Amino acid sequence: MYYTCRVRNSPYALEPEAFLRAIDATRATLGEARMKLLDIVDRVRELTDDAPYAVIGGLAQILWARKSHTDDLHVALASADLVKAYERTSGGGSVVDLITFADEEFTREVIQSARPAPELGGIRFVRPELLLVTHLLRPTVEAKLAAVELLIARRDKATFDMAYARAWAARVGAEPAFDRIRELAQRFADI
């Protein structure tokens, strides 16, 4: 499924309504129940006593890079908030993964610099630069492809701060991967 952004100078790769349609289409394709994003984020806020958070992973990728598939929600939380939320859950299946990173400064930056999307009920999304770094931390081919896709999608947006992304990649030990991904994205963009 392909969506275009009709809003000029929008910071998003997809308009908010197209973002929600992409989520619905993904869940339908997988034969899963509709994900009511606002309800789920409200539940996360409830579980964490409204602790600061940032949506990361596939949903952030849809917003910033037009990705068209995800089947769950990844939320970054500080480690203490994650422990509280975990203790409140009774197990069982969920479409929400609560995540904290080994580097506490990185987790703090992901959460503190998250950008609210007013058109989506103020849900806070990781900055695209830090989303790139989270992709570099995952040891899968899919994560590397998502990183390339993100760089290609953001190349025309003057708001993507490559130096900021590189600095955080270096901090978490992913600078060599950052350089390789940036080179690959440039090669694809030149085709």
Tens of pLDDT, residue by residue over 67-101, are: 656 667 788 888 888 887 777 765 555 567 788 99
Query: 129 pLDDT band (50/70/90 cuts)?
Result: very high
Query: 7 pLDDT band (50/70/90 cuts)?
Result: very low
Does pLDDT of 4 surpass 50? no
Q: What is the pLDDT of residue 40?
A: 73
- Averaged over 7-15, what is the pLDDT? 58
Query: 169 pLDDT band (50/70/90 cuts)?
Result: very high
Does pLDDT of 166 surpass 90? yes
| Angle, alpha carbons 33-116-32 (nearest 5°) | 10
How many angstroms separate the CA atoms of 76 and 100, rounded? Answer: 5
Q: What is the pLDDT of residue 8?
A: 42
Nearest-CA neighbor of 151 among 139, 141, 161? 161
Contact by Cβ (8 Å): 96, 42:
no
Long-range contacts, 134-142 (Cβ 8 Å, 24+): 134/56, 134/57, 134/101, 134/110, 135/181, 136/169, 136/172, 136/174, 136/177, 136/178, 136/181, 137/101, 137/172, 137/174
Does pLDDT of 175 surpass 90? yes
Q: Which residue has the higher pLDDT, 1 or 126?
A: 126
- Which of 66-70, 80-84, 123-127, 165-169 has maximum average pLDDT? 165-169
Q: Which residue has the higher pLDDT, 20 or 76?
A: 76
Does pLDDT of 157 surpass 80? no
Kindly give, in sequence order, each residue whose CB lies less than 8 Å from that of residue 105, ignoring residues fewer than 6 positions away: 171
Q: What is the pLDDT of residue 168?
A: 98
Does pLDDT of 33 surpass 90? no
Q: What is the pLDDT of residue 117?
A: 87
Contact by Cβ (8 Å): 177, 111:
no
DSSP label at 40? H
Q: What is the pLDDT of residue 184?
A: 92
Query: 160 pLDDT band (50/70/90 cuts)?
Result: confident
The full set of domain ranges for the chain reads 16-189
Tokens describing residue 84: 């509280």
